[in-house]
Structure 1
Amino acid sequence: MARQNFVGYVISQGKMDKTIKVRVLQKYYDAKVHKDLFKRKDFLVHDEGNICKEGDLVRIEATRPLSSRKFFAVAEIKRNIGQQFAKYAEEAKQRVSEEEQLKTREFLERTQLKDNDQQLVFLGDLRTVASLKGKELTPEEQETVSNLKKKYMIQTWDDQQLFQMEFERLEEKVQDLLQDYKLTQTLQSIIASPDKSAEVLQRTGLSGEEIEKMRRNVRKNIIRKFLKKADDATLLQLGIQL
């Protein structure tokens, strides 16, 4: 006796191991409305190799009971549409990743340009002071010097003070770079550990369900903001050292 056979589309895959859900459309004649109508029925189907993807057209065949609700197994993949969808999804993820990397590079370039602009302004002010030193100043030049003194909050323009200002500015920049480097290293180590990242995110008031639904880049941004604002005592409680 021939076994039952149906042809249908895979509508769900990956939620259970070696199990897919297949929707079968069956045509029947309705005597009340005198029309051919379709009724649909969903089957849980055994997929031994986890090969089928959503969208595939498959032929299923009756088999011995494999569970309380599973009586069919995949006999043939007639049209491999789901594999194409999986390929497109992978390509889309890759494009999104490339776009994120491009945006990150552009942001870093803009930040670098901003720092360079500030440095150029400072060096320009130093050159202005150096060019006016030892000269009889016009009212406009006196006003320029006065404005620069107010801007940098100094009283006199001697060589030692100018050198000290430049040295302090460079020292601040180095400290900022070191702090950013430590923050990035700590952030990468936290993100690499799911348990640690969940612990830090829970400190921000998020629930476990919200954390699971959150995308990786969103979690990363929240943790970065938390590390910047948190005090030393809170970081020590979490076992984090910047």
Structure 2
Amino acid sequence: MELIKSIVFLYSILLLLLLFIGSVYSQISIPSKQDGFWYENRNAKTDSILIEAFLDPVCPDSRDSWPPLKRAIQHYGSRISLVVHPFPLPYHDNAFITSRALHVVNDLNTSATYRLLEAFFGQQDKFYNQATFHLSKASVVDKVAKFTSNAIGNLNYAAVKAGFTDPKTDQATRTSFKFGCVKGVYGAPFFFVNGFPLPGAGSPLDYNEWRNILDPLFSPEEQLRTENVDFFL
């Protein structure tokens, strides 16, 4: 009897998930360009391993997942391509606004997008929970705009603030979230490698875990070449 109840429960969850994804499909229009921010402006090549990361700028687990992922990307070099998709979790304060800030900055200066992401990760306490509890939405947007301008250092505050009134950045942030939903993303961090989801969604992967996942995807000769390059650096 318990087994039957479990099967019915899982079937109900699956049905609800399918209905949700179907509703997202029916509401989203195809964007004019691919979603996401390419690390070091390096688009994927046919002979590179593609990692897709869905991250929330104010999510502690997303924050903790970034250093080991970045280290792995640096280890493999150009043989790995990384694209980060903002995925603002609805239960994290200011997730949508900070994700939108990434789109604003990416429109102004693509080389600054990851600097801003790392700045949010480094000072999440400025935007999480009680930090903005008594502020209006307009005040929070202004706070995020000022933080963004200061974190990047070479962007005009007025240009950043204007980006938050541009409907294109609002739509782009919505598209990022819907894209994650269409892919079956339900938490952050959430990773795909060559289009296949990794287990352990919502939890950071450490550097050794990344090596265990990625090393088998390269030939022994490629692995040796990478180790030799690391030795001389």
TM-score, normalising length: structure 1: 0.20
TM-score, normalising length: structure 2: 0.20
Structure index of larger Rg: 1
Q: Which has the higher contact order (CA 8 A, sep 6+)?
A: 2
Write 1 or 2 for the structure with the bigger share of helix: 2
